[in-house]
Every structure is written in C-alpha cells, then in structure tokens.
Amino acid sequence: MAGVVAFERRNSVGIITVDNPPVNALGQAVRSGLDEALRQALADSAVEAIVLRCKGRTFIAGADITEFGKPPKAPMLQAVIAAYDASTKPIVAAIHGTALGGGLEVALGCNYRVAAPDAKCGLPEVKLGILPGAGGTQRLPRLVGVEKALDMIVGGDPISAKEAKSIGLVDALVEGDLLEGAIAFATSVAAKRPLPRVRDLTANIDPAKLRPGLFDDAKKDARKRSRGAVGPARCVDAVRAAVEMPFDAGLAEERRLIEEAIASVESRAMRHVFFAERKAAKIPDVSSDVPTLPVKKAAVIGAGTMGAGIAMVFANVGIPVVLVDREQSFVDKGLDIIAKNYGATMKKGRLTQAEMDTRIGRITGTTNWDDLAQVDLVIEAVFEEMGLKREIFSRLDKLCKKDAILATNTSTLDVDQIAAATSRPEQVIGLHFFSPANVMRLLEIVRGAKTSKPVVATSMKLAKDIGKVGVLVGVCQGFVGNRMLHQYYREAQFLIQEGALPSQVDRVMTGFGFAMGPCATSDLAGIDVGWRIRKAQPKPPPGERYSGAVADRLAEMGRFGQKTNAGFYRYEAGSRTPVDDAEVEKIIVQVSKELGIERRQVADEEILERCMFALINEGAKILDEKIALRASDIDTVWINGYGFPSHRGGPMFYADTVGLPRVLERVKALQEKHGKVWTPSKLLEKLAAAGRTFADFDSEQEGSS
C-alpha cells in the first residue's frame, strides 16, 4: 500500500489513516492508498466499522491542485468515493483542521462525519475557477439543503464545525482525542442498518419544496457578484442538476461541467493566483533556516486612519500594540476610529462585544515615547514627508531596544534614505499597508539596501501571522504597486483628455473585472492626495504631456472626491454611489482645450489596451530592475492591493494570455503615437523576441536561484 495511507485494526474498528503532508492532498498515491485500505478493511472479517482520519495539521484539504491540467491517473477520485459510498460496513470520517474540496467530498461519501470543534468544512473550488467535481454538488444539497449548498459552493467559504453540526453536515463534535472519539462513534453505529448514504437522501432536493426561480435568481446574483467570472454561475448549474436529475446523471453533469471549467483560462488564472500567493512567501536568498525575531509587542507611530488600521491588525491576532501620536487629542481620535471600526464589524455580526473589548484592550494610546523602549517592532505611519520621517527614525534609533525592527509604512519615499537616519539600517524595513489597513490583504515588504536577512525573514513570517499576503519588493519610487498604478492612471487621464469620460473609462475597467475604475478609486482615496504630491514635484518639460491636468483642476475647485461629495463624480450626501456630473464634463472639455487637444471618439478597446499595457510594460521594467522577484509577485500585489480581478490572474499572467509579441507590437505602436512614456521594457522585448512568457521568466529565475 502506498506509504501515504495506512490501515490498522483496533478491536472491531478498522482505521484508515492518510499521512501526506503538508495538507493531505488527494494525489494519485493517496487515491490508490484509500482504495487499497478500504479493500483491506472490507476483507477483514473482524472489522465491523471503519474510521477514516488524517495525520498532520489537517484532514484532506482537497484534490492535488498541482495535478490539474495533467493527464489524469487512476484511480479517479469519483471511483474511490463510489467505493466508500458502496461500503457494506459503516465508515466514519474524522475531521480536524480543514476538510476542503475533494476532502469534504470523500467525507460526504462516508456514512457518518464527526469533527473536532475547531475544524472547518468547505467546498472552495469556485476560488480556483472550477466547481466540486467528486460528487460535492450532488451530495451536499441532499444533506444540508439546496440553499445552504448553493451558499457554500457558489461562495466557496468554509463553515465552522459547530455550524456544520447544526445543519447536519457533521453528525457529532468530538471534544478531546478525535481518534478515540471517532472509534467510539464507529463502534456505536457498527450494527446500525441500513447504512445512511447521502446519495439516497431526497427530501432536501424535492423541487416542490424549493422556492420558484431559486436557481435563476442564484445565477443572476452569482453573475452580478463575480465581476465577469463565469465559475460561480457554473456552480449553480451543477447544484441545479442535483434537483433536476437522478443522482448518477447529476454526477455525470457535474463531471462535464468541471472538465469544461478546468480547461478554462479563468481557472488557469485562478490556480496561478493560488500558487503565486504561496510562492511570494519564499525569498530565494533568505532560506527557512534564517532566524526570525520574536514580535510579541508592537507600536505604531501616527494615530491617523492608516495608523489606527495597522494597530487593529496586530490587536486582531493577539499582539499588544502601543499607538503613539504627538498630542493626546490625536491619540484619542485614533482610538475613536478603532472603536468605530470594531463597532461596525460587530453590527455586521462578525464580532462579539467580548471579542471587541479584548481587542481594544490590547491597544494602548500614548504620547509618551518611553513606552516604546521594550517593543519588538515599531511601524511609523505619519505624513509622507521625508524630513519628518528621518527625524522620527533617528529618535526611535536612540529609544528602542537594540534588536527592535524599525519599519516605515511609506507608500512612495526612499526607505534607504529613511534608514540612513539611524545607526542600524540593517534593522529598518518598509511595511507598506494598504487602506483600509485592517481590511486589505496586501503587505508590500520593502527591502532596503542594508536590511538584514533576519529582518526580512521576520517580516515575511509576520505578514502571514497577521493575516496578510506579504510580497517582498525593492526600493524605488512607488515600489511595485503604486509605481505601476501611476502608469495606469496616466493612461486613464490621457484618454480622458483625448475624448473619453470618467464613466466610460471606469465602465471598461470594471467590465474587465476590476472592483472599481481608476476615477471612482481616485474619488475614494481622495483626489487631493495625488494633487498635493504632484504640487511638490516638478511639472514635465514643455512638449511632454501632463496626466494630472484634469485632476488638478478638480482639486483646485475643491472637488476632492467622496469626502467632498464631488470629484470625478457627484455623490448624494451619505452615499458612495458615483453619479455622472455634467459639470465635470465641462471641466474636462475646457482642460482639453487649454492643452490644445482636439477631443475625439475613444473606443472601449483602446481604453482597455492602453490601461492594461501601461501596467504590463511597467511591470516588465520592474522585473528587469529586480524590484520584484517574480512576475507572479506582481500579480499577487495587484490582486490583493488594487482590486485586479483574480479570474484574470493578474497583469503579468494576463499579458501571457494576450501573448507578449502582441503586447510588444501594441506598445511600440503606442510609442510611435504617444512618445517615450511608451518606451518598451527591455525584458518585454527580450521575452517576446524569444517566444517566451513571463511564466517562463519566473521558472528560469526559480531554476537559477
């Protein structure tokens, strides 16, 4: 029997144990091991009942995603589950950690399921652009009802063991030793007949009991929320088959749909995103044996919106944090922001009063810098002004303990220049959070020229510990995300100067799948933020176009965006819904006139191409300069920090789907027309000429490191 699955008997109970670290994924060896173990259990006459359980940190967390797209190897998972389903002896699945995807489907093929109280169950396949393909769409609705099954399958989020018990997905929660509890449960049901099989349940899938139009509504809703991805709607079709077809026909329909999904670019994109996030955590020259420093107590300098959000991030994971500002009123305002944020989460039922009190209890507001003497990590989150930041870092250098990590949340400034204000630049790093810091998953970790490996390793680990996706980037203006954003916004603004309107540009980009278009995002972030930065920078030389002209005019008129209920759009009081404003069109036409630009019809395709190719070309330059380690890191930054649609895989993955020769050809044509802002990246030219992709570039980097 394959070494990853073992079989043993304890008295009258056969125990099948899966041991395939790190997450007991259902690779070929596990599938054939499960098959063989069942055969042994059924053949052993002393066995009256069977327990299926896993070693390690979790129950089976799904099919082995690395096998997707490769020729399938027998036994197929459906066949393995069919054998468990047909067992003549009761099988009890003992769930701990996360029973996900194919793992939960295996458990649904068993007669009973018991779980540790902190376990989770889910069918997250939709997050990989596919759907449960081993009976989950047919068995789950039979067991927990159609609406709950739709919720779990179309949404993809796991549920707690407690909820699973309450909806009948799990038969019992086992306190203490899970295996002993499962064996006791198995013994208690050993003689019970007939054996309960999920496939035989029909009450929950009786069409007469379902709300008319349920599936059409679910499909409409799925389309509305999926920003153009087709995966969620396909999940609805599969669950519909459970109601409209006999079990085996439903299984066949599920099979047809998953084969269609696995072959789709959408699923390839989302699988790329899955592995890209995990790869981002690996730093070639900082191996896992580089020691990390403990972060048991943190501090945040600056109690503004950003600082307050960052303090919450630490309090949320149990790390006490000191929130510092120069005046008590500023500190109080920061603590107030925190209380309001937690209050809002509590109102949504996602936090209890007790949890809120505990978290707020971990945050100490102060104006006394001596309170920083013993913290392990300080994050500076004050105004974007170099002089102020250097002053703060030189003060921290004198105050903080020797091995404290001094971090800056700057989004644009030179981390090396900030580090040079201290006697310990090796302890300085950039930790660039995204607003709202307690919500956005991305953390750009900015490695300075002198940042030590232990500080890098600690920051990468910290990102995971605080629930963020950490991506290591180098020092340059705007790092990875904002540097590319600047080129994307540049093109969006040029297109508006040439004839497009904000709503057209935003419609094209949200149609592509972005959560928000560039103009609505500027209104959310505040048009005045960019305006103040531009005002401090030199204007482009004569003859060179200036992308900030329209935004500057709006800001000069006090149209800062949502905060003034007017920006690129108008906002009704208290509403965040952008409304087209004829006043803005007048302003834009006037600015074009002053710039000597004759306005013209701009096609949607041109908007998409120029905005996307500006991103891609800058991304390639960033890779060439080694500011990012991988093209997939750039994708991870854009998906977790800028609302890039995950079903497109990120700007660099998208470029590979378009084809780099095509991207290069268009970039060169745009350079012809619009000048040096479109100078093609050398790396893009090299890869296109060699018929290679950004994915090739990444695997070569990986191979050479």
Catalytically active residues are 105, 125
- SS3 for 555-581 is HHCCCCEHHHCECCCECCCCCCCCECC
Query: How far apart are CB 258 and ligand T1G at their closest, in Å?
Result: 7
- Contacts with ligand T1G, 124-163, as mask; x by CB under 6 A: xx--x-x-xxx-x---------------------------
Could you tell me which residues come within 8 angstroms of residue 305 by beta carbon, excluding any fewer than 6 positions away? 337, 435, 436
Work out the burial of residue 269: count CB atoms within 10 Å of its CB; fewer than 13 is exposed, 13-18 middle, 19 or more buried. buried
Q: Report CA Rg, the chain.
A: 28
Stretch that binds ligand T1G, among 101-109, 147-155, 435-443, 681-689 (CB under 6 A): 101-109
Query: How far apart are CB 589 and ligand T1G at their closest, in Å?
Result: 50
Stretch that binds ligand T1G, among 122-130, 242-250, 576-584, 682-690 (CB under 6 A): 122-130
Q: Which residue of 101, 365, 481, 561 would you call a contact of ligand T1G, by CB under 6 A?
A: 101
Query: How far apart are CB 231 and ligand T1G at their closest, in Å?
Result: 12
- The smaller minimum CB distance to ligand T1G, of residues 62 and 645, is found at 62
Q: Which residue of 24, 32, 98, 410 would you call a contact of ligand T1G, by CB under 6 A?
A: 98
Could you tell me which residues come within 8 angstroms of residue 349 by beta carbon, excluding any fewer than 6 positions away? none
Q: 224: part of which helix (H) or strand (E)? A: helix 214-225
- The smaller minimum CB distance to ligand T1G, of residues 136 and 307, is found at 136
- The smaller minimum CB distance to ligand T1G, of residues 133 and 567, is found at 133
- The smaller minimum CB distance to ligand T1G, of residues 44 and 163, is found at 163
Q: What are phi and psi of 369, to 5 degrees?
A: -65, -20
- SS3 for 500-530 is CCHHHHHHHHHHHCCCCCHHHHHHHHCHHHH
Side-chain-side CA neighbours of residue 361 (13 Å): 7
- Chain positions 75 to 94 lying near ligand T1G, rule: CB under 6 A, are 77
Query: How far apart are CB 655 and ligand T1G at their closest, in Å?
Result: 24
- Contacts with ligand T1G, 27-66, as mask; x by CB under 6 A: -------------------------------x--xxxxxx
Query: How far apart are CB 406 and ligand T1G at their closest, in Å?
Result: 28
CA angle 656, 660, 665 (to 5 degrees): 145
Q: Which residue of 33, 90, 102, 365 would you call a contact of ligand T1G, by CB under 6 A?
A: 102
- The smaller minimum CB distance to ligand T1G, of residues 108 and 492, is found at 108
- The smaller minimum CB distance to ligand T1G, of residues 284 and 343, is found at 284
Query: How far apart are CB 585 and ligand T1G at their closest, in Å?
Result: 46
Amino acid at the residue 34: L
- Own/partner long-range contacts of 164-172 (Cβ < 8 Å, ≥24 apart): 164/113, 164/115, 164/119, 164/121, 165/115, 168/143, 168/144, 169/113, 169/121, 169/140, 169/143, 169/144, 170/95, 170/113, 170/114, 170/115, 170/121, 171/112, 171/113, 171/114, 172/114, 172/115
- The smaller minimum CB distance to ligand T1G, of residues 105 and 698, is found at 105
**Number of residues counted as binding ligand T1G (CB under 6 A):** 25
Could you tell me which residues come within 8 angstroms of residue 195 by beta carbon, excluding any fewer than 6 positions away? 87, 88, 90, 111
Q: 251: part of which helix (H) or strand (E)? A: helix 247-262
- The smaller minimum CB distance to ligand T1G, of residues 136 and 181, is found at 136
- The smaller minimum CB distance to ligand T1G, of residues 11 and 66, is found at 66
Query: How far apart are CB 64 and ligand T1G at their closest, in Å?
Result: 4
Query: How far apart are CB 642 and ligand T1G at their closest, in Å?
Result: 22
- Contacts with ligand T1G, 2-31, as mask; x by CB under 6 A: --------------------xx-x------
- The smaller minimum CB distance to ligand T1G, of residues 218 and 276, is found at 276
Amino acid at the residue 309: G
Query: How far apart are CB 639 and ligand T1G at their closest, in Å?
Result: 16
Query: How far apart are CB 666 and ligand T1G at their closest, in Å?
Result: 34
- SS3 for 466-478 is CCCEEEEECCCCC
Question: Does 650 help bind ligand T1G (rule: CB under 6 A)?
Answer: no
Stretch that binds ligand T1G, among 97-105, 498-506, 549-557, 588-596 (CB under 6 A): 97-105
- Contacts with ligand T1G, 247-286, as mask; x by CB under 6 A: -------------------------------x--------
| Torsion (CA) 215, 221, 222, 227 in degrees, nearest 10 | 160
Q: Which residue of 35, 85, 105, 380 would you call a contact of ligand T1G, by CB under 6 A?
A: 105
> In terms of Cα–Cα distance, which of 101, 77, 81, 78 is closest to 91?
81
Amino acid at the residue 232: P
| C-beta atoms surrounding 373 within 10 Å | 10
- The secondary structure of residue 597, as a DSSP letter, is P
- Own/partner long-range contacts of 203-206 (Cβ < 8 Å, ≥24 apart): 204/141, 204/142, 204/143, 204/144, 204/145, 204/146, 205/141, 205/142, 205/146, 205/242, 205/243
Q: Which residue of 37, 99, 100, 189 would you call a contact of ligand T1G, by CB under 6 A?
A: 100
Amino acid at the residue 510: T
> In terms of Cα–Cα distance, which of 279, 268, 263, 284 is closest to 631?
279
Residues lying near ligand T1G in the complex (CB under 6 A) are found at: 22-23, 25, 58, 61-66, 77, 98, 100-102, 105, 124-125, 128, 130, 132-134, 136, 278
